[in-house]
Amino acid sequence: MTKNRPPTHFLKVIFIISILLLFCFPKTSLLQTTSVEYISFGTDYETPVYIIKTDYKEPTIMIVAGTHGNEKAGIKAAEYLKDNLHIEGGTLIVIPKANILACEENARYFPRKLI
């Protein structure tokens, strides 16, 4: 007695195609938009704020670097994230140089403290 079964090679082909579709093709990612706003616009303290948004409202995360202008690692990390990070949902706010004048002067504080 034989049962109606599909040939095993057909099932193997379907399995291989499923695996290829699952792992080899990139996931469809949500569209994100990046905008630039400014804190203290029109003053010496004008500082860019980068806002990366998706269609999802939550969560919102903020990264602030450059509070001390002579600490370059945090500034470089924040700039790298704003340029290279692709978020899946929510909003990311990045301020790479919070103390813009100290960052430009490579000083810990601005204005420099007189001792």
Domain extents in the chain: 33-105
Contact present, 77 and 45 (Cβ < 8 Å)? no
One digit per residue, the tens of pLDDT, for the chain of length 115 reads 556 665 676 777 777 777 777 666 655 555 889 999 999 999 989 999 999 999 888 899 999 999 998 999 999 999 999 999 888 889 999 999 999 999 988 888 876 655 4
Query: Could you write out the DSSP letters of every residue in 48-86?
Result: EEEEEE-S----EEEEE--SSTT-HHHHHHHHHHHHH--
Write down the pLDDT at residue 24. 65
pTM over 0.85: no
As beta bridge partners, residue 107 has none
Give CA–CA dist 44/54, Å, rounded.
32
CA 13 vs CA 18, 24, 25, 114: distances in Å: 9, 16, 17, 76
